[in-house]
Amino acid sequence: MQKLPRTVVVLGFVSFLNDFASDIVIPLIPILLATVLAAGPVALGLIEGVADGVAAFLKLWSGRHSDALAGRRKGLAVSGYLLSNIARPLLGLATAWPVVLVLRGIDRVGKGIRSAPRDALVADVTPPEMRGHAFGFHRALDNGGAVAGALAAAAILAWSPLSLSQVILLSALPGFLAVGLMAGGVKDVHRAPDAVPAPLPPLSWNALSRPMRRYLLVLGLFTLAKASETFILLLGHQLGVGVVELLLLWAALNLCKAVTCTRGGKLADRVGRGPLLMLSWTAFALSFLLLGKVTGSAGLWVVTLFYGLFMGLSEGAERAVIGDFAGPAERGTAFGWYHLALGLAAVPAGLLFGLIWQYQSAAMAFFVAGGLAAASALLLRIWAWPRS
């Protein structure tokens, strides 16, 4: 069997370390807001939605800029990882939820700078017939880092006298290891080192192919349904589940995604991207409908693990579709459009979910999201089916 390129493997471990740092912090945010900062679901939705929306525009810029640099993508990725790992630990010093909003926004700006160039670099070095495997492997290590981060946070809170804020500050350690590995372990792949780069196509929505535009529109609708997974933790907190158990639940969720990511990517290479996306999105819809009916810890665990297993299946396929549609000279721009579509949908997604939760109920918020996901799966099948 053909091996994954070294660059893909190193980028996977960079993501592992970065998500180790990130997921020491992320599952604590809804708990920090609900307890220390006395904020509710609307604040959580605003923080998660706006942060991703702000970052989305930078993802388009950074992807296109990496194309303009003839594929020199590493510098942008390093700077993005560095910015996130400076801002994220400072959340431990926040004294009000608007401060969390600002710092979370800076963290996501870093993600905006690095995401499209990094994804384009994975596509640059990977043969087309292995892209599902490559992106699945990357997402598996990304989710594996989330497992390690949540378990580390749970262990520290359970067996040490450190507070939530102090645990968040400790996230700086694996974060800066990720920056160092990215800086020292990854090399750029120049398309034509001695040539003047060809002019880029106009930055226009209409410049994208019709299949890609349809796919991104449907993906945007699905993202509108896909509210932040931290709302699952907020639901657990509302049901009376303790902080350490919620961290273990978060770790288990990401472990499920890590287990199925690589296998899902390989399946997408073999049977096509569309069937994997259809299966995963349908399972998402069912999961959120069931979350609206959960009344205790046991039910929350069962539904969350089911959700994680099926969401992991499609993470590689979702990105591989973009690599299929785009040529080498515009791949960064294509991934920029992909991340922009996700980010723009994330803003109303978080707010809508939080508002329905606060002014109707948590159950109604999950029901609405499940319905939107089911509509997205149907549209994918009849209107935007991937060609691979």
Q: Nearest Cα to 134, choosing from 308, 306, 322, 305?
A: 322
Sequence length of the chain is 388
Q: How far apart are CA 120 and CA 7, in angstroms?
A: 12
In order of 22, 58, 84, 91, 283, the CA distances from 143 in angstroms are 11, 23, 17, 22, 19
Neighbours of 197 (CB within 10 A): 15
- Please provide the CATH number assigned to the domain covering 8-187+208-383: 1.20.1250.20
CA angle, 338 then 127 then 257, to 5° = 55
According to the model, what pLDDT value does residue 387 have? 66
According to the model, what pLDDT value does residue 192 have? 54
**DSSP state letter for 160:** S
According to the model, what pLDDT value does residue 139 have? 84
Greatest mean pLDDT among 141-150, 279-288, 310-319: 279-288
Domain boundaries defined on the chain:
8-187+208-383
Q: How far apart are CA 132 and CA 320, in angstroms?
A: 5
pLDDT confidence band for 96 (50 / 70 / 90): confident
According to the model, what pLDDT value does residue 203 have? 66
Q: Nearest Cα to 32, choosing from 110, 93, 108, 120?
A: 93
Q: Which two tokens stand for residue 197?
A: 């780069």
- pLDDT higher than threshold 60 for residue 144: yes
Q: Rounded to a whole number, what is the largest CA-CA distance in the chain? A: 63
Instruction: Note the pLDDT tens digit of each residue in 145-196.
Output: 989 999 999 999 889 898 888 999 999 999 999 999 999 988 887 655 444 5
| Mean pLDDT in residue range 86-111 | 89
In order of 72, 119, 192, 233, 273, the CA distances from 332 in angstroms are 10, 8, 16, 34, 20
- Residue 86, SS3 per DSSP: helix
pLDDT confidence band for 329 (50 / 70 / 90): low
In the chain, the amino acid numbered 177 is L
- pLDDT higher than threshold 70 for residue 353: yes
Question: What is the distance of C-alpha 102 from the center of its chain?
Answer: 19
Question: Position of tokens 């949540």?
Answer: 150
Q: Helix 97-125 vs helix 131-159: angle between axes, to the nearest 10 degrees? A: 150
Q: Which two tokens stand for residue 168?
A: 């968040």
Q: Which string of DSSP letters, residue by residue, matches 39-57?
A: --HHHHHHHHHHHHHHHHH
As a whole-number percent, the residues of the chain with pLDDT over 70 amount to 94
Instruction: Note the pLDDT tens digit of each residue in 47-87.
Output: 877 777 777 777 777 877 877 776 678 889 999 999 999 99
Q: How far apart are CA 315 and CA 312, in angstroms?
A: 6
| Mean pLDDT in residue range 346-373 | 91
- pLDDT higher than threshold 70 for residue 198: no
| Mean pLDDT in residue range 224-249 | 90
According to the model, what pLDDT value does residue 296 have? 92
| Mean pLDDT in residue range 303-330 | 82
Q: Average pLDDT, whole number, for the chain?
A: 86
In the chain, the amino acid numbered 23 is D
Q: How far apart are CA 240 and CA 87, in angstroms?
A: 31
| Mean pLDDT in residue range 233-246 | 92
In the chain, the amino acid numbered 215 is Y
